[in-house]
């Protein structure tokens, strides 16, 4: 009888486009989200946790900023007897589920409904450097408020959020634009609603931050060569037709009044364009009344991402400090958040227009920015480790850990093989532990314990010539009853030394 082949072992690899998050990253993210939730809560927003899975029908057009109606999500069909089960999908953002939740529960929810949500989303897209198929978002939205006061409030809250988590004033800017102004520009170009060329123009405008004014001009007219030398066909507009778009994109001036004057010239006699400008002026007035000057939030018509999706004001938070890229070149950190008004999303379910506005923060991007600013070290202090000198006295060591934990101090007993004491200290080092507690038979007999300051000990080991460290002992013998008090004292000294 032939010998049965063993089943091959599965490969221990992360699925393509996904990543694993370890202790420090998870802790830092949780702390940042807690701070953000505090700001949102202070503004009166309520938390919402919706299902990570939605029906494909409820999600609707996938990836609202990308024209891929049948792609972009992880979807499957529910099995049933006749093979006609519902198609289900992992959520691709936190906004589409909000529309479903509001439509389903609107009779029980206050109007307006202000909610915030945080969690992972999934997109079935080609992964790349820094681009993953699962990532975290942090959203806040107001549903049911038509007034641009809701948009202004979102901008103010976004500004407060960035400062609360550690992005100082002067290192960020919330920039505001309005889709209605662009609609006015399209009217001035002779492209009314329903004209097929509008979508081509919108897609071209969306490339403004990548190709600049000259690039957009070429793409709107005859076309251009890209970086690889390939020719990209243009939309086919005349130079005169393209001019209002370029006037719109470059209308930002040194002062707000001049910016608005430039925008009025760009929209010509368009009523919807004038309405959009009036909304921007009102947002500016409301923010100024709240103490938010142009050093924090400014009107900027060059904000064009998502204009094909949003129906009114749009906003983007950009971090303005410089970093070095992978090639050592200086560049600005860039955008960490975006949002705007989307008045048509709930209508899919109810048949009635429901105004809504909101913002989404890219959690991983914001965490990376905080690390660049030194607000997060990338290393979280581990627990105090109680070492085991005699495995027959495990109850004694567990009693020590219980005392420390009851005093609010993070602590653990070493649970590996206690035979080699050096390995216990290596374990504590790998855990980034600040302190090790030692009680051998001799210490037990004398009613004392040894408490080792691992942070100070590491500094002394790194540079034995530093007299300031050598004068300070890194290990203390104290009475067993002074365990908690001494550990607290050392932790406090370590905290002071890290400031």
Q: Which DSSP state fits 437?
A: E
The total of other beta-carbon atoms located within 10 Å of residue 160's CB is 17
- Provide DSSP, 182-213: HHHHHHHTT--TT-THHHHHHHHHTTHHHHHH
For residue 66 the two structure tokens come to: 């990308």
Report which secondary-structure segment, H or E, holds 93.
none
Q: Where in the chain is the domain with CATH 3.30.930.10?
A: 16-146+343-369, 161-335
Helix (H, G, I), strand (E, B) or coil at 15: coil
Tens-digit pLDDT profile for the chain (499 aa)?
Answer: 567 778 888 899 999 989 998 888 898 999 999 999 999 999 999 999 999 999 988 887 665 555 444 478 888 888 776 667 788 899 999 999 999 999 999 999 999 999 999 999 999 888 877 788 999 999 999 999 999 999 999 999 999 999 999 999 999 999 999 999 988 888 887 776 666 677 777 777 777 777 777 787 888 787 777 777 777 777 677 777 778 888 888 888 888 888 999 889 888 888 999 999 999 999 999 999 999 999 999 999 888 777 677 889 999 999 988 776 666 666 778 889 999 998 888 888 989 889 999 999 999 889 888 888 777 766 678 899 999 999 899 999 999 999 999 999 999 999 998 889 999 999 999 998 999 999 999 999 999 999 999 988 777 766 655 555 455 678 889 999 999 999 999 999 887 765 4
Q: What is the pLDDT of residue 332?
A: 72
Helix (H, G, I), strand (E, B) or coil at 307: coil
Q: What is the pLDDT of residue 304?
A: 78
Q: What is the pLDDT of residue 499?
A: 47
Q: What is the pLDDT of residue 326?
A: 63
At CB < 8 A and 24+ separation, what contacts does 401-409 make? Answer: 403/483, 403/484, 404/483, 404/484, 404/487, 407/484, 407/488, 409/384, 409/484, 409/487, 409/488, 409/491
Q: Is 195 left (phi over 0), alpha (psi -120 to 50) or beta?
A: beta
Report the C-alpha gap between 451 and 473 in whole angstroms.
Answer: 11
**Is the N-terminal amide bond of 28 cis, ω within 30° of 0?**
no
Strands 113-122 and 134-143: antiparallel
| Phi, psi (deg, nearest 5) at residue 51 | -65, 145
Q: Which DSSP state fits 393?
A: G
Strand-pair partners of 317 = 174, 337
Domain 384-498 has CATH 1.10.3470.10: no
Q: Which DSSP state fits 81?
A: T
Report the C-alpha gap between 386 and 283 in whole angstroms.
Answer: 58
| Phi, psi (deg, nearest 5) at residue 252 | -65, 130
Contact 161, 315 (CB under 8 A): no
Report which secondary-structure segment, H or E, holds 232.
strand 231-233
- Provide DSSP, 75-106: EEEPP-TTS-PPEEEE-SSSHHHHHHHHHHHT
Q: Using the CB atoms, write b or e for 95-112: b if 16+ within 10 Å.
A: bbbbbbbbbeebeebeeb
Report the C-alpha gap between 127 and 113 in whole angstroms.
Answer: 35
**Mutual angle of helices 256-267 and 271-289, in 10-degree steps:** 170
Q: What is the pLDDT of residue 209?
A: 73
Report the C-alpha gap between 276 and 85 in whole angstroms.
Answer: 45
For the chain, the residue count is 499
Helix (H, G, I), strand (E, B) or coil at 353: coil
- Provide DSSP, 457-490: HHHHHH-TT-HHHHTS-SEEEEEGGGHHHHHHHH
CATH value of 161-335 in 3.40.120.10, 1.10.760.10, 3.30.160.60, 3.30.930.10: 3.30.930.10
Q: Which DSSP state fits 310?
A: -
Report CA dihedral (276, 282, 286, 287) to the nearest 10 degrees: 50
Q: Which DSSP state fits 10?
A: P
| Phi, psi (deg, nearest 5) at residue 109 | -100, 150
Contact 306, 65 (CB under 8 A): yes
- Through-space distance between the first and last CA atoms of the chain, rounded to whole angstroms: 72
Class of domain 16-146+343-369 (CATH, top level): alpha beta
């Amino acid at each position: 009888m032939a010998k049965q082949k063993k089943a091959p072992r599965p490969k221990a690899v992360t699925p393509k486009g996904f990543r694993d998050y370890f202790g420090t990253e998870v802790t830092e993210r949780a702390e940042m989200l807690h701070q953000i939730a505090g700001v949102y809560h202070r503004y009166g927003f309520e938390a919402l946790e919706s299902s990570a899975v939605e029906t494909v029908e409820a999600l609707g057009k996938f990836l609202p900023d990308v024209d891929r109606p049948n792609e972009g999500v992880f979807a499957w069909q529910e099995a049933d007897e006749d093979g006609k089960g519902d198609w289900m999908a992992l959520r691709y953002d936190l906004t589409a589920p909000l529309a479903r939740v509001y439509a389903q529960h609107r009779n029980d929810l206050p109007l307006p409904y202000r909610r915030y949500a945080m969690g992972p989303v999934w997109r079935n897209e080609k992964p790349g450097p820094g681009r993953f198929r699962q990532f975290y978002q942090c959203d806040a939205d107001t549903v049911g408020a038509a007034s641009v006061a809701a948009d202004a409030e979102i901008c103010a809250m976004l500004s407060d959020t960035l400062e609360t988590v550690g992005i100082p004033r002067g290192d960020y800017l919330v920039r505001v634009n309005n889709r209605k102004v662009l609609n006015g520009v399209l009217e001035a170009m002779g492209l009314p609603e329903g004209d097929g060329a509008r979508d081509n123009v919108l897609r071209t405008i969306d490339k403004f931050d990548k190709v600049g004014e000259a690039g957009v001009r070429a793409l709107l007219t005859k076309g251009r060569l890209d970086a690889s030398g390939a020719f990209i066909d243009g939309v086919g507009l005349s130079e005169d037709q393209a001019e209002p778009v370029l006037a719109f994109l470059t209308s930002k001036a040194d002062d707000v009044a001049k910016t608005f004057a430039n925008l009025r010239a760009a929209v010509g006699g368009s009523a919807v364009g004038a309405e959009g400008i009036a909304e921007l002026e009102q947002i500016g007035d409301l923010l100024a009344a709240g103490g938010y000057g142009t050093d924090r939030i400014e009107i900027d018509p060059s904000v064009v991402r998502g204009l094909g999706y949003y129906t009114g004001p749009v906003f983007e938070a950009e971090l303005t400090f410089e970093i070095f890229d992978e090639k050592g070149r200086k560049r600005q950190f860039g955008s960490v958040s975006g949002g705007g008004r989307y008045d048509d999303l709930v209508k899919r379910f109810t048949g009635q227009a429901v105004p809504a506005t909101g913002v989404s923060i890219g959690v991983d991007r914001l965490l990376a920015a905080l690390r660049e600013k030194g607000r997060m070290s990338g290393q979280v202090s581990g627990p105090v480790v109680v070492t085991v000198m005699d495995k027959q006295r495990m109850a004694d060591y567990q009693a020590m850990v219980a005392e420390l934990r009851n005093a609010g101090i993070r602590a653990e007993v070493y649970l590996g093989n206690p035979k080699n004491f050096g390995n216990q200290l290596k374990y504590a080092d790998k855990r980034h532990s600040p302190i090790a507690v030692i009680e051998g038979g001799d210490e037990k007999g004398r009613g004392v314990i040894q408490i080792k300051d691992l942070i100070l000990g590491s500094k002394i080991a790194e540079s034995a010539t530093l007299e300031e460290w050598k004068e300070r002992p890194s290990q203390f013998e104290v009475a067993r009853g002074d365990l908690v008090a001494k550990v607290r004292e050392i932790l406090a000294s370590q905290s002071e030394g890290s400031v």
